[in-house]
Amino acid sequence: MRPVTSFLEWLYATGWANAIRENEVAFPWIECVHVLAITLVVGSISVVDLRLLGVAWRDRPVQRVLRDVLPLTWAAFAMAVASGFLMFASNAPAYARNPYLQAKMALLVLAGLNMASFHWWARRSLQTWGNTPRPPWRARLAGAISLLCWLGVVAVARWIGFTMLAH
């Protein structure tokens, strides 16, 4: 555990983490970018999830929805990761101990595993069901799990700031 603690302390002591911590506008601006990026991630993923659930955009092929939405999702996710890392670095040891941040990370891993398993399964079968208004149960399950994970990410993330003593 010592290497992790050492890394967290090193990260906290970097000049740029200190600059974020000490500048009264840096953290709020980074947080603003993070919130906007997460909004784009959750909003765009919800479009895909609702299509997989068969409750919206039923007239559009799943492949088209994926092709149209996922580039925005990935760009927004990259912005969310970068801004989230900067906020984390500003108080890395304390954030690492925060149970809400830990829950958020666990939900992100679960969402990623769900996405990977869906894409692994769908790449072999999407041609057979991708145009149907109501996808097969596996696709609907993947959409439901994804939607629940991302709603959970937003919910627990909201509590991170309320449980931190200082930024």
Over residues 62-90, mean pLDDT = 97
User: Which of 83, 91, 107, 85 has its CA nearest to residue 30?
Assistant: 83
State the average pLDDT for the chain.
94
The residue segments making up the domain with residue 156 are: 2-163
Number of independent structural domains in the chain: 1
Over residues 44-59, mean pLDDT = 96
User: Which of 8, 20, 17, 1 has its CA nearest to residue 101?
Assistant: 8
The DSSP annotation for 62-109 comes to HHHHHHHHHHHHHHHHHHHHHHHHHHHHTTHHHHHH-HHHHHHHHHHH
Q: What are phi and psi of 25, to 5 degrees?
A: -110, -15
Over residues 154-166, mean pLDDT = 85
What confidence category does residue 2 fall into, taking pLDDT thresholds of 50, 70 and 90? confident
Model confidence, pTM: 0.90
Tokens encoding 78: 């990259």
The pLDDT tens digits for 35-44 are: 999 999 999 9
The pLDDT tens digits for 91-147 are: 999 999 999 999 999 999 999 999 999 999 998 898 899 899 999 999 999 999 999
The DSSP annotation for 99-142 comes to HHHHHHHHHHHHHHHHHHHHHHHHHHHHHHHTTSSS--HHHHHH
Query: Residue 154: its pLDDT value, please?
Result: 97
Count the helix, strand and coil residues of the chain and give each as a percent rounded to the nearest 5: 85, 0, 15
